[in-house]
Amino acid sequence: MAEDNTNFFGKVYAVVKQVPYGRVTSYGAIAAFLGAKRSARMVGWAMNASHVDNNVPAHRVVNRVGLLSGKHHFEGTNLMQQLLESEGIEVEDYKIVDFAKYFWDPAKELDF
DNA sequence: TCAGTGACTGACC
DNA sequence: GGGTCAGCCACTG
C-alpha cells in the first residue's frame, strides 16, 4: 500500500509525504527523483490512486509551472487551492504565485 | 492480448 | 507565446 516503498507508487507516496508544510513540488521532480523522469504521468496516476490515503498531501503536487492540474480530482472545485492557501502559499486562478519560491525539490532536499 | 486513457514533460513549429 | 506531438508506463475494459 502507501507505505510500501518497494514499488513505484509507494515511493511516490513516501516522497510526497516528505513535502514540508508550506512547500510544493512537481510531478516531474518526483519522477526524476525516482529515476523515471519520463514517467511523470505515473506520478499523476499514483496521486489518483492516493486519494484513499489521507496522509498523502496531493494538493502539494502540481505540474511544472505550478498549475493545479489535479484540482478536479479534489472534492470541491477549489479545495486544492484553499488547502495551499491555508499553508501560506499564494494561489491565483488555480496557479501558484512565485512557484519557484515555494518549490521543494526532493532531489536536493531529500536524501534517500 | 490489445487498445485506449491519463493529476506530465520536453521538443517543435 | 501558445498549440501540437511523441514518449513514458500502469490500469481498465
Q: Write out pLDDT tens, residues A33-78.
A: 988 888 899 999 999 888 877 789 999 999 999 999 999 888 888 8
A45 touches strand C (CB under 7 A): yes
A104 touches strand C (CB under 7 A): no
Residue A2 has pLDDT above 50, yes or no: no
Under the banding of pLDDT at 50, 70 and 90, the label for residue A17 is very high
Distance A88 CA to C10 C1' (A): 34
- Say which CATH class A8-109 falls into: mainly alpha
Nucleotides of C under 7 A from a protein CB: 7-11
A42 touches strand C (CB under 7 A): yes
Domain segments of chain A: what residues? 8-109
Residue that the C-alpha cell 484553499 belongs to: A82
